[in-house]
Amino acid sequence: MARNIITGIDVGTNFTKAVISDTRELNERGLPKVIGAGLAETRGVRHGYVTNLRDVSESVRRAVKAAEDKAGVKVKKAFLGVGGIGLGSVVVSSAVMTSRADAEITQLDLDKLR
């Protein structure tokens, strides 16, 4: 049976949390079963404002890695939540052909998006 994985990430002022669930497996309340969760100290956020994007990115990587290790799956897509005072958003959609036959996204692929 194939898995249908959903990942959610919350970047808070103090902690970054990641949760991975499998929608094909339901818990006793009928909700998707959580198969992995990760927690990392948030760096690069002060009073709800992102002050250092690289530090925040590293916090997200650490939380997702911890969740992936517990779930035994690799995250390919995620829903990200970042709250804060005066926070705005821009929705962007983009596509690029991957440079590898196994469809793994490399830094070269990310550079093509800019």
Walking along the chain (114 residues) 10 residues at a time, the average pLDDT comes out as 83 94 87 94 88 94 96 92 70 74 78 74
46: phi then psi, degrees, rounded to nearest 5: -135, 120
Residue 114 lies in a domain: no
Separation between Cα atoms, residue 47 and residue 14, nearest integer Å: 9
pLDDT of residue 101: 76
Tell me the β-bridge partners of 26: 32
Q: pTM of this prediction?
A: 0.69
Q: Total structural domains in the chain?
A: 1
Residue 107 lies in a domain: no
Residue 105 lies in a domain: no
Separation between Cα atoms, residue 82 and residue 51, nearest integer Å: 13
Q: Are 35 and 19 in contact (CB under 8 A)?
A: no
Q: Are 109 and 72 in contact (CB under 8 A)?
A: no
